[in-house]
């Protein structure tokens, strides 16, 4: 492929469903292995603890790392300098983000990363630009700041531990539903995949910006559509009951999309379902680098 991105909208291959009742995930590469960070919700059937927690899945082996961050919600993961950083919210729509970090995915340290009294915090995502780390944060409240629920604001950090909010005019977008950010930095642009609602469908869109305040939408949006391919079975371990749920589920969304590059391929995870609590985790890929994937949309 060289350094020239392909012309036209990138072709995404959907592989199908791998789990039920799993939504927010982040693929990462750590120690040359592909892992999937998972926010395990309380209603996830194998979760016998009854409270949410975080974990990683070794994608090749299917093995799970020890659970951590019990009671935290809506996490995301980021790898830097031999460490894995995970950011979670203290409650659904809480006002505090905590950072957890580890060098082995077994032992975790933690501290408060950001506290925003009066704000309702949901999904988040982290990238690094040429000067600092940037976090995209989905806010649901308060209305006087957020506008139309939901809106994405930004924070910055010098060390991935202590974070400070960027000016509130750097936001996307107060005039409509914009949620579930996945932010990346490439060649002078912030690229961000997010969820948008139109005519009862929830689909991922992509935008880019040089300054976090002014955003350009891709002419190829949306990134993906809900489709019959979402319901393909991509995990042989799914039970007959789970397969029946998948076959009969209402599908109006492709949401919470996140991605990374592994062995020259862009690995994609996303959720599909009815946006009312019946949701499934699916996987897809783009046969090319993440750089090509992002640039192809513009």
Tokens representing 73? 């919600």
In this predicted structure, what is the pLDDT of residue 8?
73
In this predicted structure, what is the pLDDT of residue 4?
52
74 within some domain: yes
2 within some domain: no
73 within some domain: yes
| Percent of all residues in the chain with a pLDDT value above 90, rounded to a whole number | 96
In this predicted structure, what is the pLDDT of residue 1?
42
Per-residue pLDDT tens for 280-292? Answer: 999 999 999 999 9
106-134: average pLDDT: 98
CATH number at residue 60: 2.115.10.20
232 within some domain: no
- Considering the entire predicted model, what is its pTM? 0.96
Cβ(57)–Cβ(66) below 8 Å: no
282 within some domain: no
Per-residue pLDDT tens for 73-96? Answer: 999 999 999 999 999 999 999 999
139-165: average pLDDT: 97
Cβ(154)–Cβ(134) below 8 Å: yes
| Percent of all residues in the chain with a pLDDT value above 70, rounded to a whole number | 98
Question: Mean pLDDT across the chain, nearest whole number?
Answer: 96
In this predicted structure, what is the pLDDT of residue 230?
98
233-251: average pLDDT: 98
Structural domain boundaries enclosing 128: 24-225
180 within some domain: yes
Binning pLDDT at 50, 70 and 90, where does residue 2 land? Answer: very low
184 within some domain: yes
Per-residue pLDDT tens for 26-77? Answer: 999 999 999 999 999 999 999 998 899 999 999 999 999 999 999 999 999 9
Q: How many domains does the chain have?
A: 1
14 within some domain: no
């Amino acid at each position: 492929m060289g350094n020239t991105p392909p012309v036209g909208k990138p072709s995404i291959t959907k592989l199908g469903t791998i789990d039920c009742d799993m939504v927010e995930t982040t693929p990462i590469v750590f120690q040359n292995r592909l892992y999937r960070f998972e926010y395990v919700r309380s209603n996830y059937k194998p979760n016998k603890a009854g409270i949410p927690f975080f974990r990683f899945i070794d994608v090749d082996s299917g093995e799970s790392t020890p659970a951590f961050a019990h009671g935290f919600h809506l996490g995301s993961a980021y790898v830097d300098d031999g460490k894995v950083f995970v950011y979670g919210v203290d409650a659904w729509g809480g006002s505090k983000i905590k950072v957890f970090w580890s060098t082995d995915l077994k032992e975790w340290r933690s501290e408060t990363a950001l506290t925003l009294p009066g704000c309702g915090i949901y999904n988040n995502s982290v990238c690094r630009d040429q000067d600092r780390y940037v976090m995209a944060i989905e806010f649901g409240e308060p209305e006087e700041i957020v506008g139309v629920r939901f809106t994405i604001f930004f924070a910055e950090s010098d060390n991935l531990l202590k974070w400070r909010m960027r000016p509130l005019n750097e936001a996307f977008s107060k005039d409509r539903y914009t949620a579930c950010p996945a932010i990346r930095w490439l060649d002078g642009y912030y690229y961000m995949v997010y969820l948008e609602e139109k005519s009862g469908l929830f689909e991922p869109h992509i935008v880019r910006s040089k300054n976090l305040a002014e955003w350009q939408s891709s002419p190829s949006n949306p990134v993906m559509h809900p489709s019959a391919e979402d319901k393909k079975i991509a995990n042989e371990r799914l039970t007959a009951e789970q397969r029946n749920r998948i076959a009969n589920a209402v599908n109006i969304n492709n949401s919470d999309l996140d991605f990374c590059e592994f062995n020259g391929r862009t690995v994609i995870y996303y959720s599909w379902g009815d946006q009312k609590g019946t949701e499934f985790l699916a996987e897809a890929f783009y046969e090319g680098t993440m750089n090509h994937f992002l640039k192809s949309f513009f």
